[in-house]
Amino acid sequence: MVLEVIYVVRHAFRTNWAVDPETGVYTASILSPTNIPSDAPLTSYGVEQSKQLADHLARLQPPIDRIYSSPFYRCLQTLEPYIKENGMEIRGETGIGEWYGAALFDHPSPASTSALRQLFPTYSESYIPAIIPSPSGESIEQLYDRTAYALAHMIAQLDAEEGQPKAILLCTHAATLVAAGRILTGHLPEHAEEEDFKPFTCSLSKFTRRRESSDNIEFTGTVGPDEERPKFDWRKGRGIGGGWDCVMNGDCSFLKGGAQRGW
Protein backbone atom coordinates (compact mmCIF):
# COMPACT_ATOMS: atom_id res chain seq x y z
CA MET A 1 0.00 0.00 0.00
CA VAL A 2 1.23 3.51 -0.79
CA LEU A 3 0.02 6.93 0.25
CA GLU A 4 -3.51 7.51 -1.07
CA VAL A 5 -4.94 10.67 0.55
CA ILE A 6 -3.55 14.09 1.47
CA TYR A 7 -5.64 16.37 3.68
CA VAL A 8 -4.60 20.03 3.72
CA VAL A 9 -5.74 22.59 6.27
CA ARG A 10 -4.95 26.27 6.63
CA HIS A 11 -4.21 27.55 10.12
CA ALA A 12 -7.06 29.09 12.13
CA PHE A 13 -7.81 32.80 12.61
CA ARG A 14 -4.60 34.46 13.83
CA THR A 15 -3.58 37.72 15.47
CA ASN A 16 -1.86 40.39 13.38
CA TRP A 17 1.64 41.71 12.97
CA ALA A 18 3.18 44.63 11.07
CA VAL A 19 6.44 45.13 9.20
CA ASP A 20 8.25 48.36 8.41
CA PRO A 21 8.91 48.15 4.63
CA GLU A 22 11.94 50.40 4.98
CA THR A 23 13.74 48.58 7.79
CA GLY A 24 12.19 45.12 7.75
CA VAL A 25 11.43 45.33 11.48
CA TYR A 26 8.43 43.20 12.49
CA THR A 27 6.19 44.16 15.41
CA ALA A 28 3.13 42.59 17.01
CA SER A 29 0.64 43.77 19.62
CA ILE A 30 0.35 40.19 20.96
CA LEU A 31 3.69 38.43 21.11
CA SER A 32 3.91 34.75 20.31
CA PRO A 33 5.17 32.27 22.95
CA THR A 34 8.18 31.82 20.63
CA ASN A 35 9.06 35.54 21.09
CA ILE A 36 9.20 36.04 17.32
CA PRO A 37 7.07 39.09 16.35
CA SER A 38 5.73 37.63 13.11
CA ASP A 39 5.11 34.17 14.61
CA ALA A 40 1.53 35.08 15.39
CA PRO A 41 -0.61 33.09 17.82
CA LEU A 42 -4.28 32.46 17.18
CA THR A 43 -7.02 34.76 18.38
CA SER A 44 -9.54 33.35 20.87
CA TYR A 45 -11.85 32.89 17.88
CA GLY A 46 -9.11 30.94 16.11
CA VAL A 47 -8.68 28.69 19.14
CA GLU A 48 -12.39 27.88 18.96
CA GLN A 49 -12.01 27.12 15.25
CA SER A 50 -9.14 24.74 16.06
CA LYS A 51 -11.36 22.83 18.51
CA GLN A 52 -14.08 22.47 15.88
CA LEU A 53 -11.46 21.31 13.40
CA ALA A 54 -10.18 18.70 15.87
CA ASP A 55 -13.65 17.19 16.22
CA HIS A 56 -13.98 17.03 12.46
CA LEU A 57 -10.53 15.54 11.88
CA ALA A 58 -11.33 12.73 14.31
CA ARG A 59 -14.16 11.61 12.03
CA LEU A 60 -12.27 11.61 8.72
CA GLN A 61 -12.16 8.51 6.55
CA PRO A 62 -9.58 7.33 5.88
CA PRO A 63 -8.17 8.39 9.25
CA ILE A 64 -4.99 10.47 9.52
CA ASP A 65 -1.81 8.39 9.82
CA ARG A 66 0.86 11.12 9.79
CA ILE A 67 0.89 14.89 10.37
CA TYR A 68 3.17 17.48 8.77
CA SER A 69 3.02 21.15 9.66
CA SER A 70 4.62 24.45 8.92
CA PRO A 71 6.75 25.15 12.03
CA PHE A 72 5.15 28.55 12.58
CA TYR A 73 3.26 28.76 15.87
CA ARG A 74 -0.19 29.48 14.40
CA CYS A 75 -0.14 26.21 12.44
CA LEU A 76 1.01 24.13 15.40
CA GLN A 77 -1.54 25.82 17.66
CA THR A 78 -4.26 25.00 15.13
CA LEU A 79 -3.38 21.31 15.42
CA GLU A 80 -2.99 21.37 19.21
CA PRO A 81 -6.54 20.24 20.20
CA TYR A 82 -6.38 17.29 17.80
CA ILE A 83 -2.84 16.38 18.86
CA LYS A 84 -3.70 16.49 22.55
CA GLU A 85 -6.65 14.18 22.00
CA ASN A 86 -4.75 11.71 19.80
CA GLY A 87 -1.12 12.08 20.88
CA MET A 88 0.19 12.04 17.33
CA GLU A 89 3.66 13.21 16.33
CA ILE A 90 4.02 16.44 14.37
CA ARG A 91 6.66 16.55 11.66
CA GLY A 92 7.77 20.15 11.21
CA GLU A 93 8.31 20.85 7.51
CA THR A 94 9.77 24.24 6.58
CA GLY A 95 9.03 23.45 2.94
CA ILE A 96 5.33 24.12 3.59
CA GLY A 97 6.02 27.21 5.69
CA GLU A 98 4.88 30.79 5.15
CA TRP A 99 5.44 32.56 1.83
CA TYR A 100 6.94 36.04 1.83
CA GLY A 101 7.42 38.07 -1.31
CA ALA A 102 10.99 39.01 -2.16
CA ALA A 103 12.37 41.91 -0.12
CA LEU A 104 15.68 43.66 0.62
CA PHE A 105 15.63 42.42 4.23
CA ASP A 106 15.49 39.04 5.92
CA HIS A 107 12.10 37.65 6.90
CA PRO A 108 11.66 35.83 10.23
CA SER A 109 12.25 32.12 10.45
CA PRO A 110 10.28 29.79 12.75
CA ALA A 111 11.52 28.86 16.21
CA SER A 112 14.05 26.07 16.75
CA THR A 113 13.02 22.44 17.12
CA SER A 114 14.01 22.43 20.78
CA ALA A 115 11.92 25.53 21.49
CA LEU A 116 8.91 24.13 19.65
CA ARG A 117 9.17 20.80 21.43
CA GLN A 118 8.88 22.60 24.76
CA LEU A 119 5.62 24.15 23.54
CA PHE A 120 4.34 21.07 21.69
CA PRO A 121 5.66 17.86 23.31
CA THR A 122 4.93 15.63 20.29
CA TYR A 123 6.88 17.88 17.88
CA SER A 124 9.39 15.54 16.23
CA GLU A 125 13.07 15.90 17.04
CA SER A 126 14.10 13.29 14.46
CA TYR A 127 12.25 14.43 11.34
CA ILE A 128 14.53 16.19 8.84
CA PRO A 129 12.76 18.90 6.76
CA ALA A 130 13.13 18.73 3.00
CA ILE A 131 14.00 22.34 2.28
CA ILE A 132 14.51 25.73 3.93
CA PRO A 133 12.95 28.75 2.15
CA SER A 134 15.09 31.79 1.41
CA PRO A 135 15.04 34.28 4.31
CA SER A 136 14.96 37.15 1.80
CA GLY A 137 11.64 35.96 0.36
CA GLU A 138 10.58 34.26 -2.85
CA SER A 139 8.89 34.86 -6.16
CA ILE A 140 5.78 32.84 -7.03
CA GLU A 141 7.92 30.48 -9.11
CA GLN A 142 10.29 29.98 -6.19
CA LEU A 143 7.31 29.21 -3.96
CA TYR A 144 6.18 26.56 -6.44
CA ASP A 145 9.69 25.08 -6.62
CA ARG A 146 10.21 24.68 -2.87
CA THR A 147 6.65 23.47 -2.22
CA ALA A 148 6.99 20.91 -5.02
CA TYR A 149 10.29 19.72 -3.58
CA ALA A 150 8.78 19.39 -0.10
CA LEU A 151 5.74 17.49 -1.38
CA ALA A 152 7.85 15.15 -3.53
CA HIS A 153 10.03 14.45 -0.49
CA MET A 154 7.05 13.65 1.73
CA ILE A 155 5.33 11.42 -0.82
CA ALA A 156 8.48 9.43 -1.65
CA GLN A 157 9.35 9.05 2.03
CA LEU A 158 5.85 7.90 2.97
CA ASP A 159 5.59 5.47 0.04
CA ALA A 160 8.74 3.80 1.36
CA GLU A 161 7.84 3.98 5.05
CA GLU A 162 7.54 0.66 6.82
CA GLY A 163 4.30 1.64 8.55
CA GLN A 164 2.58 2.09 5.17
CA PRO A 165 0.58 5.25 5.95
CA LYS A 166 -2.52 5.70 3.84
CA ALA A 167 -3.53 9.29 4.67
CA ILE A 168 -1.65 12.37 5.92
CA LEU A 169 -2.56 15.86 7.11
CA LEU A 170 -0.67 19.01 6.18
CA CYS A 171 -1.18 22.29 8.06
CA THR A 172 0.06 25.34 6.20
CA HIS A 173 -0.61 28.95 5.13
CA ALA A 174 -2.83 30.54 2.47
CA ALA A 175 -0.36 31.02 -0.39
CA THR A 176 1.39 27.73 0.28
CA LEU A 177 -1.95 25.91 0.35
CA VAL A 178 -2.86 27.31 -3.07
CA ALA A 179 0.58 26.38 -4.41
CA ALA A 180 0.24 22.84 -3.00
CA GLY A 181 -3.16 22.38 -4.66
CA ARG A 182 -1.75 23.41 -8.02
CA ILE A 183 1.30 21.18 -7.65
CA LEU A 184 -0.63 18.11 -6.52
CA THR A 185 -3.21 18.37 -9.30
CA GLY A 186 -0.85 19.77 -11.92
CA HIS A 187 -3.36 22.47 -12.82
CA LEU A 188 -1.70 25.88 -13.05
CA PRO A 189 -3.94 28.81 -14.02
CA GLU A 190 -2.78 31.37 -16.56
CA HIS A 191 -2.69 34.07 -13.88
CA ALA A 192 -1.27 33.37 -10.41
CA GLU A 193 -3.98 35.43 -8.71
CA GLU A 194 -6.81 33.35 -10.19
CA GLU A 195 -9.03 31.80 -7.52
CA ASP A 196 -8.88 28.02 -7.63
CA PHE A 197 -7.98 26.40 -4.30
CA LYS A 198 -9.79 27.96 -1.35
CA PRO A 199 -7.59 28.89 1.63
CA PHE A 200 -10.20 29.93 4.20
CA THR A 201 -9.01 29.93 7.81
CA CYS A 202 -9.21 26.40 9.24
CA SER A 203 -10.63 25.09 5.95
CA LEU A 204 -10.01 21.49 4.94
CA SER A 205 -9.17 20.22 1.47
CA LYS A 206 -8.75 16.61 0.38
CA PHE A 207 -6.68 15.19 -2.47
CA THR A 208 -6.83 11.58 -3.66
CA ARG A 209 -4.07 9.91 -5.64
CA ARG A 210 -4.57 9.03 -9.29
CA ARG A 211 -1.76 6.49 -9.54
CA GLU A 212 1.47 5.53 -7.84
CA SER A 213 4.48 7.13 -9.46
CA SER A 214 8.01 7.97 -8.43
CA ASP A 215 9.54 11.35 -9.19
CA ASN A 216 12.92 9.58 -9.48
CA ILE A 217 14.83 11.59 -6.93
CA GLU A 218 17.15 10.76 -4.09
CA PHE A 219 16.79 12.88 -0.96
CA THR A 220 19.98 13.14 1.10
CA GLY A 221 19.10 15.85 3.63
CA THR A 222 17.70 19.33 4.04
CA VAL A 223 18.29 21.61 1.06
CA GLY A 224 19.40 25.11 2.07
CA PRO A 225 17.90 28.29 0.59
CA ASP A 226 20.80 28.84 -1.81
CA GLU A 227 21.37 25.24 -2.85
CA GLU A 228 20.36 23.79 -6.19
CA ARG A 229 17.43 21.41 -6.11
CA PRO A 230 15.72 19.27 -8.79
CA LYS A 231 12.85 20.70 -10.80
CA PHE A 232 9.70 18.63 -11.12
CA ASP A 233 7.53 18.30 -14.20
CA TRP A 234 4.19 18.69 -12.41
CA ARG A 235 2.49 21.17 -14.75
CA LYS A 236 -0.03 20.43 -17.54
CA GLY A 237 -2.08 18.14 -15.33
CA ARG A 238 0.76 15.81 -14.33
CA GLY A 239 1.02 16.63 -10.63
CA ILE A 240 3.57 15.34 -8.15
CA GLY A 241 3.90 11.63 -7.35
CA GLY A 242 1.52 10.43 -10.04
CA GLY A 243 -0.95 13.30 -9.69
CA TRP A 244 -3.85 13.95 -7.33
CA ASP A 245 -7.52 14.92 -7.69
CA CYS A 246 -9.04 17.57 -5.44
CA VAL A 247 -12.24 16.00 -4.10
CA MET A 248 -12.81 18.55 -1.33
CA ASN A 249 -11.85 22.21 -1.78
CA GLY A 250 -11.72 24.50 1.26
CA ASP A 251 -14.54 22.84 3.21
CA CYS A 252 -15.73 24.91 6.19
CA SER A 253 -19.05 23.16 6.84
CA PHE A 254 -17.82 21.96 10.25
CA LEU A 255 -16.99 25.52 11.43
CA LYS A 256 -19.72 27.41 13.29
CA GLY A 257 -18.67 30.68 11.63
CA GLY A 258 -18.38 29.15 8.15
CA ALA A 259 -15.86 30.29 5.55
CA GLN A 260 -13.75 33.32 6.47
CA ARG A 261 -10.62 35.13 5.32
CA GLY A 262 -10.42 33.53 1.91
CA TRP A 263 -7.25 35.57 1.23
65, 200, 223 from 252: Cα distances, Å: 22, 8, 35
Indicate yes or no: pTM above 0.75.
Answer: yes
Q: Inform me whether the pLDDT recorded for 199 exceeds 90.
A: yes
Name the nearest CA neighbour of 76 among 170, 149, 156, 1: 170
The 10s digit of each residue's pLDDT in 141-177 is 999 999 999 999 999 999 998 888 999 999 999 999 9
Looking at residue 1, its pLDDT comes to 60
Domain-wise residue ranges, the chain? 5-251
ω into 62 cis (within 30 of 0):
yes
- CATH number, domain 5-251: 3.40.50.1240
Looking at residue 256, its pLDDT comes to 96
Dist CA 16 CA 263 (whole Å): 14
Residue 230, CA atoms < 13 Å, CB-side half-sphere:
18
Looking at residue 102, its pLDDT comes to 79
The 10s digit of each residue's pLDDT in 35-80 is 998 899 999 999 999 999 999 999 999 999 999 999 999 999 999 9
Looking at residue 148, its pLDDT comes to 96
The 10s digit of each residue's pLDDT in 8-31 is 999 999 998 888 878 888 888 888
The 10s digit of each residue's pLDDT in 203-259 is 999 999 998 776 777 787 899 887 888 889 999 999 999 999 999 999 999 999 998
Q: Over range 184-202, report the average pLDDT.
A: 92
Q: Residue 186: left if φ>0, alpha if ψ -120 to 50, beta else—which one? A: left
